[in-house]
Each structure stands twice: as structure tokens, then as C-alpha cells.
A and B are shown apart, each in its own frame.
Chain A
């Protein structure tokens, strides 16, 4: 192999004395796609943040093009040819897509029209269907991700680090994205690709590095890996049989009708949508991005509002309801567990206990005017144990937890409200395989206990493996329903697209 374009030797990064990565050796060849996999908390994000100049190394060395480099800011790293597309959204929400793309590259005199035309051409060259004049705040998660990717590509970096780039992309968008990665590779750009979807790592990468608990486990050519070997290396145990075991062999029968949505409208996303959700079942909701599934359930939960005129009806337990805010929906037993946990899911600088307690306060509303510290601690402790949150204690700030544990906190924040209708929106996005198994077990348990569970997911194997009943959304409405027994990936995708 030629001189690596980027190399880390004995890289160690300590947070408060605890190592996030410890003595990690890593090398990236020119024009290589290198997948970095590992459970949440394995150190992938820290390792890439070191490369992108977000955090400095505590000890060890980084070499770029054979020369030692110590980038102290992302801007310095970008000047060294390293750009990173973060898992967290780093766009300015109040600016347009085009303005975000050219942020930091502004000239003395900027013609907005010129920026928009350049952005339009650039986005089209990437096959990204994003309007350059749209404000970023108006975009969904997938489109924001597209803008992030486009920005990194625009900066002509020699090394691009993608942290979970495909988590919010549709299958078609993923295909475009993979073509884009291959194109970048042909142009000599090296890519580090972090993904929890192991199939993607196996499909697109040249080499795979597995990290576990902040340590390097193995690096090898992709062709010498299979799914089972990666999982074995990631978790030290074989989980391949428990995750996405394929089609269900038995489905739960429907209980009473908990939720009925009748002719719901919210232009332009939800168009005359109707569906039912039953107790004691997991109702999987599949659809491409823009199919209106998240918006429908956000209306049900009072997060979004339906159309003012003739917006349809939502009936909860036989009673028509219309929530203008989430609080009354929570009091009526609806829990919506967001797909965007970092923005909507928790208060990142607050402790685990406080975050979970916030969920309880949301339920109690005006009945609890004073915060009781002891109660908060007790609630936090109980849920840390119940959901097996891996943290030093319930006083730890949520931002310091790994993605999987953060997701468990978001779930705990809703379950503490003892809801009857639980809506999981992309429950395992950006979550490692170990936590995925735990979250899936929790979803099953909630349905077994008689709750009505809705699971919105873009990941077909997850929908197929967990759902008793599958609703497929397209263009703002449910277009097809399958029993968990009859569904196949082909049938679901056909309904979602045609």
C-alpha cells in the first residue's frame, strides 16, 4: 500500500479521565472507502472528531499525507483537506440551502441569484432533490442530510468523513449517495464512512475497521468480512440471529381500536390520510421520506396542526380529539418518540434523571408546580435500571451518553408518562446493534402488555421483523396494509413507490 493519506498512531482521547478512544491505530489510503463500525460508545465519533479537528488528541499522533498534523478547529482540518459531515445537524436553520452551502465562502459582493443558480446546478449534479431557496428549518431530516453531504463535497476535500450519512435517506436516495461516493473515490477522494447498517458497509467499502469500547479490534479487507463476523467483532457476542430475524411467524391479534385517523389533511404533506391503530399490536408504518408518515403521527400527538379548514378527524379511544399542543395529547396517553432525538428528544446539558423527570412533569402538567429533586432522582434511577442505560449514574448529562443510550433516555422520558399509544419514530436510527436488540425487545414487551404501539421506520428489515401489521404510506396517505405474515420487502417497496 502507498503512503496513507491519513494516519492515526496510538491515538488516545480522554474525557474527564475516561478514555473515549485508547491507543487506536488507523490508516486511510488515497481513494479508499473505509467503513468504521462499532456499537454506540465504541469511539467512532470521537476518532473522526479528532481527524476533523473538533477535539484534540490527548496522546498519540495524526499524520496527513505523511506529515504530522494537529488541527485545532474544523476550519484548520478543512484547510488540510479533511471535511466531516456530522451526524448532528450543523446547518444554520434560518438560512437557505444555498446560503448554507456557500457559508464561509462568501465573496465581498454576493448576488443571491448567483448563489441560488450555482447551488441548483451543484445539487442537480449530485441528483439531490433539494430546493436551494428553501429555508433549512423547513427541511426534513433527509433533506438536511443531503445539504450536509453536498456542502462537504463542495469544499473539495481530500478526505471526507461521513458520520451515519444514510440514516435518514430513502433507498433511492441511498443509491444516489453510494454512486456519489464511488464517483468521489474515482476522483481520488478518500472516504471514512460510519454506519450502523452493516449491509451498507459491506456493500460500499474497501476496508472495514471495527472498534469496541474505544479500542481497535480489527481492520481488514471488506471481502474477508461478513455480517456475522462484523457483529461478533463489534459486540463480542453473536446477535445476528436475534436482529431482523426475517418475516414474523406469528402475529398478535388486534385488540380494541385505540386510534382512528379519518381524512386527515395537512398541506402539502398529509393528504386525506386515514388509518387505525389497535391495542396489543405493533403497527409498523413504512414509507419513503416525504410520504407523510411522521407528519401524520405528529398531528396525532399535537406537535403539528392539521389544516384549519376541513382538516379531518383524529379519534382516540372513541373520542374525537384535536390537540393544538403536545401537552393534552400526553395527558390523554399519547407518547411520540421523536426521530430527531438531538433536536427534539432531550435537553442535552441536563442530567438523565432530570430529562426523564421532565417527561413525568409533562404528563402531570399543572398538578405538579414544584420540582421534587428526590422524586426526580428516584424516577431517573428506576428508568436507568429498567432500560439498562449504560451510564455512571443518573446525574450524567445526556450529551455525554452514546447514541443508543441517548435513545433509551428519550424512550424513558415518554414511557414514564404511562401512555396507552406509543409512537416510535425511527426508534433505532443511529443506534448500535446491542441497543437495537434491547429497544426491539422493549417494543415487543409494550405490545404484549396491551399497549397500542406504532413503529415508523425506513428500515424494511426492522419493519418486517417487528410489525404485526404494516401500513405503507405514499404521497401523504396510507396506500396499503399488510399483515406481518404476508408482507415481503418487494410488496412493501412496490406499494411505497408505485
Chain B
């Protein structure tokens, strides 16, 4: 009863869970143009994930896996469904998630293992694979109710069915390490723990072997996505969209949200996007600001591009941005290969790269 009254008063007063607030991009997350100014290596409409195999970069695009060489991208594998996650294996093979439903490990020699989730049930939205120190694969299954392409449905449906699954590809033994995550999207080994991005809670958690969880980073101003190990220690955290107060508001307005999902086409929902569209039907989220006495039109950002360099102890060190007026939005994957950091901006379908040495030098300055 008291809880119900508190919920009502919180909604009226804008407190607690009903406080529609968004953290600011400051400190290590201070905006810049580094991501926007990155070199465009290739344009790929259906690219999903990146992985690095020693010095070479692998790209999952559509139902193929491509390798970046001196002459450009070359197909190295093709599957029967869309590849939704990619991981390079130590023997030169690859592990992929197909259609978000099953994990396939294809060895360099040609052998192939197919695995499903715990109790032989298929995955639903397997969106990232990471190889752990003990040889197992850490797989994040974003949602039990929505597939990979329907991530916006999961967000607006307030999904809490994300999982981290540890999979032994040899024995096909799959164990659910954590469940009830608000869209698990990205995993990465960190010592004895596995780091997992929890997108809808805007945080990064570390999961121990016994399933205990520890919050590494929280209250992020973005929706975090895949992680990649950085050669210099620590890791890269990508984020596919920035939070806005408007979306936070919609998420708390249950009746409006449900009606919007029921009656309006998904591309016109008030929800984060991987890229800003060009249609006038997009919600302009009418509002205005008076600046220097001039009334200016204003709309919150629909999409954003961000990659964060995180130290081994979980502290953000610096970040790369493509701001609201930029194009390189919806960054979902990062991988180091050779002297470069490669990034996949899914919004415009671009494979980008930045020289690692220059980034570290800028950060040190």
C-alpha cells in the first residue's frame, strides 16, 4: 500500500523512478568530433559485427563473413542465415550467431559445431560472442521475446529477459550465467569475470564465474552495446544511441507507449534510432528554446555515435563521438586490428577506422 502510494506520489512529483533525468556527457565522455572525422573504410548495408583475427579484421555482413585485406574486403565464409554476432577463434576459425537463434563454430580446417542455448532451447536474440580465458564462449542473448532486429520493441516493451550464456562449443554444454537482464548486448572477458552491457539499464556489469554480479559502470548517458578488448589494457565500449529525456518520458508513460506501439509504424516511434531519418513523418518532438532572445526550433537527438575507452579497472578514459549533426551514428561494434581501431557505424552502414597511436596521444594530451 505504502509502495503504491509512493509510486503515485513519485509520478506526480517526478521523483524516484519517475524522475525523467538523463546524465550529461561530461568528463571522459565530453563530446568531440573524433568519430565523425574517422576514415571510412567501406560502406556495408547489412554489417552487424566486427572481430579481429590477429592483425586482420573480420566483418559480419548479411549472411557472410568478410576479411579486410590489402585489396579490400574478401568473403571468407557464408551461412544460411544472417550473422548477428561474430567472434574470432584462436585456431583461425570463427564463431557466429545465425539469425540470433544458434551459435556455429566453424574451424579453420572446415569442421563445424552447431549449438543452441541451455536445455537445447534456441537462443532468441544472440547478439554478441566473446571467447573466455577457459575456452568457453560467452554469448549475450538480448531478449527472450524479441529478435535482434526488434530491439526497439524490447526497449519500449520494457523487456527484462536478457541473458548471459556460457557455452562450451566442444561439448555443446550451455549454462545460463545470468538472466533477467534488461537487454544484454555485448560481452567481454575481464580477468575471471565477464563484462556484460545491459543496454536498457545503461550500465556495464561484471559477472563472476559463480554468477555474482558487480556494477562496473552505471548511469551512462547512452545505450551501451558490444565490448572489445583493447590491446593496451581495458576495453572499448560502444554505444548505439544516446538517451534523451523524451524517450525516458515515453518509457514511463505506459498507456501512451502501448498505444504508440499498437497504432504507429515502428520507424515513427519515439524511440532511439541508429540513424536519423529524412522523412517529415518522424516525430519532431515539438519544442523550442529561446537563445539570445531568438526562438529556435529544437528536437532531441534521435541517434548518436559513441565509443568509450575504458580502463581495466572500469574507469572511462576518453571517448569518440559523432554528434547530433553527424552521420557516423549507431556504433555497435569495435575491434582493434594492427595499428587501427575499427568501428562499425550501423546507422549509415559504415566501417570506420582510427589510428590507435594518435588516439592514445590525444588522450594523453
Q: Are A and B co-members of a single complex? A: yes
Task: Please list the residues of chain A having a beta carbon within 8 angstroms of any beta carbon in chain B.
Answer: 253-257, 260-263, 274-276, 278, 308-313, 315, 318, 320, 322, 469, 471, 478, 481, 485, 498
In the assembled complex, the Cα of A174 lies from the Cα of B298 at a distance in Å of 35
Closest CB of chain B to A268's CB: distance in Å?
14
Closest to B12 in A: A309
Interface membership of chain B positions 1-40, coded 1 if the CB is closer than 8 angstroms to chain A and 0 otherwise = 0000000000011111001111110111010000000000
B33, chain A: closest CB distance, angstroms? 14
A471 to B30, CA, bound (A): 11
Whether the Cβ atoms of B28 and A254 lie closer than 8 Å is yes
Checking B12, B13, B20, B24 against A274 with a beta-carbon cut-off of 8 angstroms, the contacting residue is B24
Main secondary structure on A side of the interface with B: strand
Residue of A nearest to B15 (CB): A322
Distance of A478 Cα from B245 Cα, bound (Å):
17
Known: A255-B315, A256-B315, A310-B13. A263 touches B20 (CB 8 A): yes
Enumerate 28 A-B pairs (CB-CB under 8 Å) in ascending A order: A254-B27, A254-B28, A257-B219, A260-B24, A260-B219, A261-B24, A262-B23, A263-B21, A263-B22, A263-B245, A274-B21, A274-B22, A276-B23, A276-B24, A309-B12, A309-B13, A309-B14, A310-B19, A312-B19, A313-B19, A313-B21, A318-B218, A318-B219, A469-B27, A471-B26, A478-B26, A481-B26, A498-B292
Closest to A278 in B: B27
- The answer for the CA separation of A263 and B292 in the assembled complex, in Å, is 21
Expressed in whole angstroms, the minimum distance between the Cβ of A161 and any Cβ of chain B is 39
| Bound: A318/B20 CA distance, A | 17
Which of A276, A308, A318 interacts with B27 by CB under 8 Å? A276
A478 to B27, CA, bound (A): 13
* Cα A39 to Cα B241 with chains together (Å): 55
Closest 5 pairs between A and B when the two form their complex, measured CB to CB: A310-B14, A262-B21, A274-B24, A263-B21, A313-B21
Point out the residues of chain B lying under 8 angstroms from A478, CB to CB: 24, 26
Are B219 and A315 interface neighbours, CB within 8 A?
Answer: yes
Contact A485 to B365, CB < 8 A, known contacts A309-B13, A313-B19:
yes
Contact between A257 and B27, CB atoms less than 8 A apart: yes
Cβ-defined partner of A254 (8 Å) among B16, B21, B292, B315: B315
Q: In the complex, which residues of chain A have a beta carbon less than 8 angstroms from the beta carbon of B22?
A: 262-263, 274
B292 surroundings in chain A (CB, below 8 A): 498
Check B24–A275 contact: CB distance below 8 A.
Answer: yes
State the CA gap A82–B30 with chains docked (Å): 53
**Which residues of B lie under 8 Å from residue A253 when comparing CB positions?**
317
> In the complex, what residues of B have CB within 8 A of residue A471's CB?
26
Minimum C-beta distance from A471 to chain B (A): 8
* Pair B19/A275 contact, Cβ less than 8 Å: no
Q: Across the two chains, which residue of chain B brings its CB closest to A307?
A: B14
Instruction: Please give the residue numbers on chain B whose beta carbons come within 8 Å of chain A beta carbons, in ascending order.
Output: 12-16, 19-24, 26-28, 30, 215, 218-219, 245, 292, 315, 317, 365
Contacting residues, chain A, for B12 (C-beta < 8 A): 309
**Least distance between A318 CB and chain B CB atoms (Å):** 6
- The CA of A311 and the CA of B14, in the complex, are separated in Å by 7
Q: Interface of chain B, helix or strand or loop or mixed?
A: loop
Q: B18 CB to closest chain A CB, in angstroms?
A: 9
Kindly list chain A residues whose C-beta atoms are within 8 Å of the C-beta of B317.
253
Q: How far is the CB of A476 from chain B (nearest CB, A)?
A: 13
List residues of chain B with CB within 8 A of the CB of A311: 14
With A254-B28, A481-B26 already in contact, the answer to whether A310 and B315 are too (CB < 8 A) is no
Residues of A close to B24: CB separation below 8 A: 260-262, 274-276, 478
A320 CA to B23 CA, complexed, in Å: 12
Residue in A318, A320, A469, A498 with the greatest tally of chain B CB atoms within 10 Å: A320
Q: How far is the CA of A434 from the CA of B181 in the complex (A)?
A: 57
Q: Is the CB of A274 within 8 A of B315?
A: no
With A253-B317, A276-B26 already in contact, 11 other A-B pairs whose C-beta atoms are closer than 8 Å: A254-B315, A256-B315, A260-B24, A262-B22, A263-B22, A274-B21, A274-B22, A275-B26, A278-B27, A308-B13, A311-B14
Give Cα distance in the complex from A263 to B19, angstroms.
Answer: 9
Q: Which residue of chain B has its CB nearest to the CB of A263?
A: B21
Residues of A within 8 A of B27 (CB): 254, 257, 276, 278, 469, 481
Minimum CB–CB distance for B343 against chain A, Å: 24
Taking CB as reference atom, which chain B residue is nearest A469? B27
Considering the chains assembled together, what is the distance between the CA atoms of A255 and B20 in angstroms? Answer: 27
Instruction: Considering the complex, give the chain B residue whose CB is closest to the CB of A498.
Output: B292
> Cβ of A312 and Cβ of B21 under 8 Å apart?
yes
Cβ contacts under 8 Å, B30 to chain A: 481
User: Chain B residues with Cβ under 8 A from A254's Cβ?
Assistant: 27-28, 315
Query: Nearest chain-A residue to B24 (Cβ)?
Result: A274
Residues of B within 8 A of A256 (CB): 315
Query: B218 to chain A: which residues have CB within 8 Å?
Result: 318
A498 contact set on B, CB distance < 8 A? 292
Interface centre among B16, B21, B27, B365 (most CB of A within 10 A): B21
In the bound assembly, the distance between CA atoms of A481 and B22 in angstroms comes to: 17
How many angstroms between the C-alpha atoms of A23 and B265 in the bound complex? 88
Assembled-state Cα–Cα distance A321/B22 (Å): 15
B325 to chain A, nearest CB (A): 17
Inter-chain CA distance A254–B20, complex, in Å, is: 27
The one of B20, B28, B365 that contacts A310, using a Cβ cutoff of 8 Å: B20
Cα(A481)–Cα(B27), bound, Å: 8
The residue in chain B whose Cβ has the minimal distance to the Cβ of A477 is B24
Q: What's the least CB distance linking B65 to chain A, in Å?
A: 38
List residues of chain A with CB within 8 A of the CB of B245. Answer: 263
Q: Are A274 and B23 in contact (CB under 8 A)?
A: yes
Bound-state Cα–Cα, A261 to B23, Å: 7
Task: For A255, give the chain B residue with the smallest CB separation.
Answer: B315
Q: How far is the CA of A28 from the CA of B187 in the complex (A)?
A: 76
Name the B residues within 8 Å of A278 (CB-CB). Answer: 27
| CA–CA, A136 and B21, complex, Å | 34
Residue of A at shortest CB range from B17? A320
Q: How far is the CA of A262 from the CA of B12 in the complex (A)?
A: 18
A485 to B30, CA, bound (A): 14
Closest residue of chain B to A471 (Cβ to Cβ) is B26
- A104 and B248 alpha carbons, distance in the complex (Å): 57
**Inside 8 A of B16's CB, which chain A residues have their CB?**
320
In the assembled complex, how far is the CB of residue B14 from the closest CB belonging to chain A, in whole angstroms? 3
Q: How far is the CA of A310 from the CA of B26 in the complex (A)?
A: 22
**Chain B nearest CB: distance from A202 CB in Å?**
34
Q: Please, which residues of chain B bring their CB within 8 A of the CB of A274?
A: 21-24, 26
CB distance from A162 to the nearest CB of B (A): 33
Q: How far is the CA of A27 from the CA of B254 in the complex (A)?
A: 77
- Contact residues in B for A276 (Cβ distance below 8 Å): 23-24, 26-27
Q: How far is the CB of A291 from chain B (nearest CB, A)?
A: 15
| Bound-state Cα–Cα, A151 to B140, Å | 71
- Complex Cα distance, B30 from A318, in Å, reads 20
Q: How far is the CB of A252 from chain B (nearest CB, A)?
A: 12
- Complex: how many Å from CA A276 to CA B30? 11
With CB as the reference atom, state the residue of chain B lying closest to A254.
B27
Closest A residue, CB atoms, query B314: A256
